[in-house]
Chain A
Amino acid sequence: MNCNQFNYSTTRRDMLRACACGFGQVALSAITGRHALAAAPNRALKPSTPNIPHLNPRAKRIIFLFMWGGPSHVDLFDPKKHLNENAGKQLSGKDVGSDREKLGEILGSPFQFAQHGESGIWMSELFPNLARHADKLCVVRSIHTEGQAHGEALLRLHTGQANLVRPSVGAWVSYGLGCENENLPAFITISPPRGHGGVQNYGNAFLPALHQGTSIGSAEIPISKAVIHNLVNSRLNASLQRSQLDLIQSLNQKHLRNAKVDQGIEGLIDSYELAFRMQSTMPQIMNLDNEPKKTLDLYGVGSEPTDNFARQCLLARKFAERGVRYIQVSTDYTWDHHQKVKQGHIDESAKVDQPIAGLLEDLDQRGLLEDTLVLWGGEFGRTPMVENGDGRNHHPQAFTMWLAGGGVRGGLTYGTTDDFGYHPVEHPVHMHDLHATLLYSLGLDHKQLTFRHAGRDFRLTDVYGEVVHDILA
């Protein structure tokens, strides 16, 4: 399609018809001819309805299942017999292409690995439910990033950079695609981490504020107790609030009539209307009471240890169904096993295995999986070497993430690490490459999705990133 077919809108109201989940400035501005929107808040661009990406999109939305703390790739998806064979011996730097002579004592994996599905994807025994969906997964074993500490690694995972404040992946997606549902934001993050970059991990940075992720709760609060801030008025019932809002809007309209032309006042009027609509839409979605028992059971809602993550995954499906573009689901800060990596991984996997499998199955049954890309992973992997006797340290040099649905080649294992899982040796995929690929799957060219800020065009991948075409169908 011709991506230059865009018109200026004269009023915010016009634009809202196309996209009411936000306004002020709308997506694709950079792509559609580099209008310096940031500096010209009065001039809103209206994409021809709806926002259509400029490449052939494979997916319409992304669900990112974030395992905060760093799951161990060598205990989950990247079996290394060398670890068990050499357990207790020193890992020598030269065996894995590292400058350092001694890297530490090797720790074998306590878990059994087996191949699953027709494609024979290798997984450890910790994900028995997910194993049933092996043929849907594209397991990328050669992800690498920077950041030896959680904070830096989280920021790189979520925003591509750590020493500068950059928009998060979801904010870029919101900016690039806009929203499908006029009553919901385009980017929602369920139970996000408060630490390790916190808000910055779903922030809009210099992108317009409407692209910031809307957060529901935070990682340390059970999702059943989570709320969206200011979504409910604690003192006025809906009809009383409506009459108050009618008064406000009537007086605001008078102000606007006096002003004759003012997009600021118009924007304010619209923000109240949308807020009021969101107040009824969001709680309906977040209420799981009316879900059929079959669905609840599928995810593991109501049983332990799955209840919390199951609720998060089910919510993610409901948001996906209603057109939210980027949904992140996060665990608490529970995957960081410097000690007792065995018990830790048994416990944490048990919390998420069934919910994730349930999500994949549910999306599939509803026909949503074909245009929903599901991404799983942490901020880094864990060392092949032991720490504190029975734990593993942080390892950004190589780790595994998997993708499913949304135009991804299921049943594929991509990339290889060395015999010890220390470095990628074949098809390395840097975090920037992953980001480029995620955008590409949504029909966005990471080199063209830019925003003019402080005299420069910025993009998610900075000056890096190659789309990994091999993992896309």
Chain B
Amino acid sequence: MIKANSETPVKQNSPTPSLQQKPATSDSDKDHWAFRPLLHRRPEIDSDWPRSPIDDFVLARLQSAGIQPAQPAGDRNLIRRIYFQLTGLPPTPQQVNSFREDDHPDAIQQVVDRLLNSPQFGERWGRHWLDLARYADSNGLDENFLFREAWRYRNWVIDAFNGNIPFDRFMLEQIAGDLLPFESMDQRDRQRIAAGFLVVGPKVLLGNNTNNQRMEIADEQIDTIGRAVLGLTLGCARCHDHKFDPIPTVDYYALAGILTSTQVMEQRYMLGQQRVMEQLIGLGPQGDELDRSYEKYWTDLPQIKASKKRAVSALEFLKKGETDALTTLLEKNADALSEEAKDTERSLEQRIEFQNALIARLEKIIATPPVIPPRAMVPTDVDSPADESIRKAGQFDRKGEKVPRGFLKVVSHDTDGMIAEGTSGRLELGHWLTDVENGAGQLTARVLVNRIWHHLIGRGLVKTVDNFGRMGETPSHPGLLDYLARELIESGWSIKSMVRRIVLTRTFTMATMHDETAHEIDPENRLLWRAHRRRLDPEALRDSMLAAAGKLDLAPMESTVWYLGDQATAVGNNKNRRRTDFPCRSVYLPVIRNDLPELFQVFDFANPHTTTGARPRTTAATQGLFILNDEMIMDLAVATAQRHWITDGSDGNIFRLDRLFELILNNHPTEEERAELLSFISNTEKRLIDEGDTDPTLRAWSIACHAMFSLSRFQFLE
């Protein structure tokens, strides 16, 4: 049984006989490494190198391959690495200095703890989850309608990371937050917003058969949960038993039943017609009421417009004395004339006045739509939750046998019939994902620690972070993976404590230094003989340029898409486009599917249509074009030069250059670099003077700052 839990009413159901005859998965299926129970073994190490058990595992593999681990990274590189990994921002020169001057043995710990508790941690690490949750502010696919309320889910994720909500609870709220008990309206709303995880996926909206759409939505959810949480490509089992992993079609439809018993779409009136859209639910005490009256306004609007048109005709008839026409109109539409204006006792002037007042009232309604009430994208259980039929070859209209709702057999014990009658089963699913005893918990823990490792170290222990199946890669350090998974579970699924544990190892703090012998033996650095050198992701790239320029606003943002129409990308007359000029952190910029900010598009941001555990790492000419020519980057270079111009005007070029260099690159230039930069600046200044430039000195320094933003040393983490 699943952990006893008051929210999990349990009912015993016997599975249908036909499905009992042949076990869907056998013991040999469970013999894949990812499905085995977590191992408990530690290497024997005789060395003073390790600082933690994690280092023992790493050193053991290095020793058996005959490789020496790299020297520790220098102070400046290390502090820069820690800041970027934990917050996505560079340290200020002052922060670098105070770290370097602090000779307490726990100096690193101090910094790490401070950063883990800063709000910037959630903005960095929440974004890692948002990549997995295929978060976006619009639908994408065929009709790119705006998700006006998605930002609430984004901010919930950021808050959850900052609040260090245990991962098991974090998952439960995302799968079934709308079904959980609550003690306050605020808690209810937060849990509902969390469950938006199920709603933010992309959907084919127009011309889609309703039954087909239902299956497609469930498929998208299964695919997302499968890859993001379990590291399994469950989608394959929609059409046939999984070719490589022990996931039979019955398991797929057992899960599908849970999700098709969940409603994420509703009828709403938008852009002039009734449409099937993502489900919105009002927040706050009057949420439902406000939502209803808001929707009613739009549903009624065409009628109000028609009434107004008739009232105008009636007025014309009245004025011109066309009594017959007026009578005919009133026979069909009694409300075309205001009651007062119908009164023939009154004078014509009075009647006209009353009718004008009616028209004015209607015009006012038309001209003043109600303010959009606070709402969120929230799923609910359908009225009659039910089991789903297998669909032959995945086609929605070719029904096969019905499958009782349930979970993946290969990682379950005794979970048959545990879904309470009259419920979708999402609560049980939410628990099952992290149930270490009888559910997928051990697999989930492996997948999660591997993701944390991937982000901190640069490569997963299992390189295929979203695929732990047979087609994925095997772990480079299986013992370490299991050790970390156990530690995670024992810590109560605390992500912060896992991050802390890894960052404080020797493994994390090694230099990126090349070594010919080690490179010969292990060119990919799978065994971790040095730190991986990594490129900044687009968010860190932008945020650190804004920071250097003194332009970064650290305040969290709510919606950054409020000004967009219901069509999130320009089509037809709609020329309204998402903006990127907010000075906020990049995590808050609009993520419009099919219209990402150029910077994101060019620098390998996650494709927001689908779960992305490891962003692609590409090099392309468009990146060069962007860095060399983008207006925002050049503006920030000017601002950076200007800012330091004012503060240290009299101290000379060497001092100024060193400050800028340190500000942008967290380092001092070498003699050679300094000479090269200074000679570039003075040559450029001369050329600008010759060209008649009015502010040649500032411009020359700005061009140099732009060059520093373009350096590999700026764009890579040592």
| A interface residue numbers (CB < 8 A to B) | 12, 21-25, 38-42, 147-152, 154-155, 162-165, 185, 193-200, 203, 205-206, 208-210, 214, 218, 220, 229-236, 240-241, 243-245, 247-248, 250-252, 254-256, 259-262, 264-265, 267-276, 278-279, 333, 454-456
Q: Give min CB distance, B571 to chain A, whole Å.
A: 3
Known: A163-B141, A209-B616, A244-B703. 14 other contacts (CB 8 A): A24-B617, A24-B619, A148-B206, A151-B205, A152-B142, A152-B204, A163-B220, A165-B610, A206-B607, A231-B629, A233-B629, A251-B676, A255-B713, A455-B469
Report Cα–Cα, A206/B609, bound state, in Å.
Answer: 11
- A-contact bits for B210-251, CB 8 A (1 contact / 0 none): 000000100110000001000001001000000010000000
B569 touches A254 (CB 8 A): no
Q: Which of B29-37, B185-193, B351-359, B679-687 contacts A (4 or more CB under 8 A)?
A: B679-687
Report Cα–Cα, A3/B665, bound state, in Å.
Answer: 46
B533 in contact (CB, < 8 A): yes
Report Cα–Cα, A257/B709, bound state, in Å.
Answer: 19
Please give, as numbers and ranges, the residues of chain B lying within 8 Å of A234 by CB-CB distance: 629, 631, 634
B319 in contact (CB, < 8 A): no
Q: Which of B64-72, B558-566, B620-628 contacts A (4 or more CB under 8 A)?
A: B620-628
Q: Give min CB distance, A274 to chain B, whole Å.
A: 4
Please give, as numbers and ranges, the residues of chain B lying within 8 Å of A333 by CB-CB distance: 571-572
Report Cα–Cα, A243/B687, bound state, in Å.
Answer: 11
B628 touches A454 (CB 8 A): no
- A-contact bits for B563-585, CB 8 A (1 contact / 0 none): 00001011110010000000000
A247 touches B676 (CB 8 A): yes
Given A210-B618, A252-B712, A271-B623 in contact, is the A245-B628 Cβ separation under 8 Å?
Answer: yes
A272 touches B569 (CB 8 A): no
Please give, as numbers and ranges, the residues of chain A lying within 8 Å of B610 by CB-CB distance: 164-165
Please give, as numbers and ranges, the residues of chain B lying within 8 Å of A203 by CB-CB distance: 594
B144 in contact (CB, < 8 A): yes
Report Cα–Cα, A214/B626, bound state, in Å.
Answer: 13
Report Cα–Cα, A450/B140, bound state, in Å.
Answer: 25
Report Cα–Cα, A245/B707, bound state, in Å.
Answer: 8
B594 touches A197 (CB 8 A): yes
A195 touches B464 (CB 8 A): no
Given A198-B144, A198-B595, A234-B631 in contact, is the A208-B618 Cβ separation under 8 Å?
Answer: yes
B316 in contact (CB, < 8 A): no
A165 touches B144 (CB 8 A): no
B46 in contact (CB, < 8 A): no
Q: Give min CB distance, B419 to chain A, whole Å.
A: 27
A259 touches B514 (CB 8 A): yes
Partner of A200, one of B575, B594, B619: B594
Please give, as numbers and ranges, the residues of chain B lying within 8 Å of A23 by CB-CB distance: 619-620
Please give, as numbers and ranges, the residues of chain B lying within 8 Å of A254 by CB-CB distance: 672-673
Given A152-B207, A163-B141, A260-B514 in contact, is the A274-B628 Cβ separation under 8 Å?
Answer: no
B710 in contact (CB, < 8 A): yes
Report Cα–Cα, A275/B626, bound state, in Å.
Answer: 9
A195 touches B569 (CB 8 A): yes
B107 in contact (CB, < 8 A): no
B639 in contact (CB, < 8 A): no
Please give, as numbers and ranges, the residues of chain A lying within 8 Å of B609 by CB-CB distance: 164-165, 200
Chain B residue, CB-CB nearest to A220: B570
B629 touches A38 (CB 8 A): no
Number of residues on chain B facing chain A (CB within 8 A): 84
B604 in contact (CB, < 8 A): yes
Given A197-B141, A260-B514, A272-B710 in contact, is the A454-B467 Cβ separation under 8 Å?
Answer: yes
Please give, as numbers and ranges, the residues of chain A lying within 8 Å of B8 by CB-CB distance: none
Report Cα–Cα, A254/B673, bound state, in Å.
Answer: 9
Chain A residue, CB-CB nearest to B567: A195
B348 in contact (CB, < 8 A): no
Interface centre among B626, B630, B631, B710 (most CB of A within 10 A): B710
Q: Give min CB distance, B271 to chain A, whole Å.
A: 13
Interface centre among A150, A252, A275 (most CB of B within 10 A): A275
A162 touches B142 (CB 8 A): yes
Report Cα–Cα, A454/B627, bound state, in Å.
Answer: 31
B360 in contact (CB, < 8 A): no
Report Cα–Cα, A207/B627, bound state, in Å.
Answer: 23
Partner of A275, one of B514, B621, B684, B704: B621
Q: Give min CB distance, B211 to chain A, whole Å.
A: 14
A-B contact pairs, 21 of them (CB 8 A): A42-B524, A150-B206, A152-B206, A154-B142, A155-B142, A165-B610, A194-B571, A195-B567, A196-B143, A196-B571, A198-B595, A230-B598, A230-B622, A243-B683, A244-B703, A256-B712, A271-B621, A274-B621, A275-B622, A275-B628, A455-B467
Chain B residue, CB-CB nearest to A43: B524
Q: Give min CB distance, B394 to chain A, whole Å.
A: 11
Report Cα–Cα, A196/B207, bound state, in Å.
Answer: 13
Report Cα–Cα, A125/B125, bound state, in Å.
Answer: 62
Please give, as numbers and ranges, the residues of chain A lying within 8 Å of B141 by CB-CB distance: 151, 155, 162-163, 165, 197, 200
A24 touches B618 (CB 8 A): yes
Report Cα–Cα, A274/B466, bound state, in Å.
Answer: 33
A271 touches B619 (CB 8 A): yes
B512 in contact (CB, < 8 A): yes
Please give, as numbers and ranges, the residues of chain A lying within 8 Å of B616 by CB-CB distance: 38, 41, 206, 208-209
Interface centre among B572, B602, B618 (most CB of A within 10 A): B618
Chain A residue, CB-CB nearest to B525: A42
Q: Give min CB distance, B451 to chain A, whole Å.
A: 15
Partner of A265, one of B204, B473, B618, B712: B712
Partner of B607, one of A24, A205, A241, A259: A205
Instruction: Tell me which residues from 669 to 718 in chain B have a Cβ below 8 Å from any Cβ of chain A.
Output: 672-673, 676-677, 680, 683-684, 687, 703-704, 706-707, 710-713, 715-716
